[in-house]
Amino acid sequence: MVREIGGWGERGKGVFWGAALVLYICVAPSGLWGLTEDEKNTISVYKRAAPGVVNITSTVLERDFFFGIVPREGAGSGAIIDSRGYILTNNHVIKEARRIEVTLSDGSKWPGKLVGGDPENDLAVIKIEAPSGRLTPLPLGSSKDLQVGQKVMAIGNPFGLGETLTVGIISSLGRSIRSETGSLMEDLIQTDAAINPGNSGGPLLDSEGRIIGINTAIFSPSGGNIGIGFAIPVDTAKRIIPELIEKGYVAHPWLGVSLFPLTSGLAKAMDLPTSQGVLVVEVIRDGPADRAGVRGGTKMVQIGNALLPVGGDVILAVEGEPVKSSEDVIREIRKRRPGEQVRLKILRGKRTEEIVVTLGERPRGR
């Protein structure tokens, strides 16, 4: 009897709910339909992180063909890391800059001041005097437990095109490349997320929107993106940011030697009982190794077309870790701080010894 009021019944209910569904489809926001959970995550991270990514333009002075001074402008990206106006970027973005200008996501432009830079790790911190209400700091995550295959996102300003998002995965971990200064950059994150000129200094983000890396370089025969990009692990940045802010530079450990790889042919020519290790060809006078008693080459011999100082010590291991190349020694030394001691196992003549060296602070410019 109740179902009959006004002609209402089961059939009527079906018609009503069908019409309601059609109406909802017609008026529902299109963004709620057709998106996967992964796409929703990407959109959410972008909306939260984009305001914390800035465009950096720098002006440097160069000499033209006629030796006249001409300005040249470069561009890159950066990430706001706190509400005081500190911004993390690549050192090569602001290297030798006479003027730095930072553009926020709201379009406002602010003069930037270099706080400190570390060419070896290609990181720098700059600062702008913008109200904290205009700044959106990005959270620093961790690069300790990253996994190959993990989703990552890069936000930057490639070719001056602001707030560009690219998505990819971590392709590999622990990569090593040479920086512009020739120093060895280690433990880099490799990603296939598109990174192009102008992305340098921008953040590499995880699915939570946390910075896990700072985009720094690409491998490309043509200069464009081919899906092999590199980012500096955020744990490296977290370690040196306080030092950059406090001192303006990073104090790197220094052994004070020049090394040369020991090959089997060279070992045979020098009548050495081993072909593993690195030759100490020079010891910097009054440097850490010199004060500890490490010996460099004593005579010059011709090896092929090159003259090489020989007769010095051969470093076989650092802190018990066997070394096969100069990079192995550098890698072990860089794990430490100036003032720390390091044990070297050396070959001197026909016998092995252990020498303890107190590392110094590498002179600026070396």
Please identify every residue annotated as catalytic. 92, 122, 200
Q: DSSP letters along 285-319, please?
A: TTSHHHHHT-----EEEEETTEEEEESS-EEEEET
User: Left, alpha or beta for 40 (phi > 0: left; psi -120 to 50: alpha)?
Assistant: alpha
Q: What element of type H or E holds 27?
A: helix 10-27
Phi, psi dihedrals of residue 52, rounded to the nearest 5° = -95, 0
Six-digit token pair at 270?
Answer: 């020098």
| Interstrand relation of 86-89 and 321-322 (parallel, antiparallel or unpaired) | unpaired
Q: What element of type H or E holds 49?
A: helix 37-49
Cβ atoms within 10 Å, residue 146: 19
